[in-house]
Amino acid sequence: MKGLDTARLDTLARRLGLAPRQLALAAARLAHDEAAGAQRRRAVLAEAHAPTAAMEHVASLMATPIAGYALDEVDRALASLWPTTTDT
């Protein structure tokens, strides 16, 4: 697996007015929905500007070196954040 390109992540985050961890969290949320339209992408990025405590916790877990544990915790946390309905 190729390492994370932190310089590109920082540059994109700066352009969007986000912290890199906020951008990573938004990307994780959008990765679940590959067909997300422009409106959905804008909504997720807008939410990333004012993350909830739960979202910050998830972002912290994403940065842990114990990938398996972190991914399991991220899955659980995101499941509680995402609506259970399919209306987008």
pLDDT tens column, 17-42 = 988 888 888 887 877 777 778 888 88
- Going by C-alpha positions, the residue among 68, 53, 55, 66 that lies closest to residue 28 is 55
Q: Determine contact, residues 9/20, Cβ cutoff 8 Å.
A: yes
SS3 69: helix
Taking the C-alpha atoms of residue 30 and residue 76, their distance in angstroms, rounded to an integer, is 16
3-state helix, strand, coil in the chain (%, to 5): 70, 0, 30
Between CA 43 and CA 22, with CA 32 as vertex, the angle to 5 degrees is 50
The 10s digit of each residue's pLDDT in 38-71 is 888 888 888 888 888 888 887 777 766 665 665 6
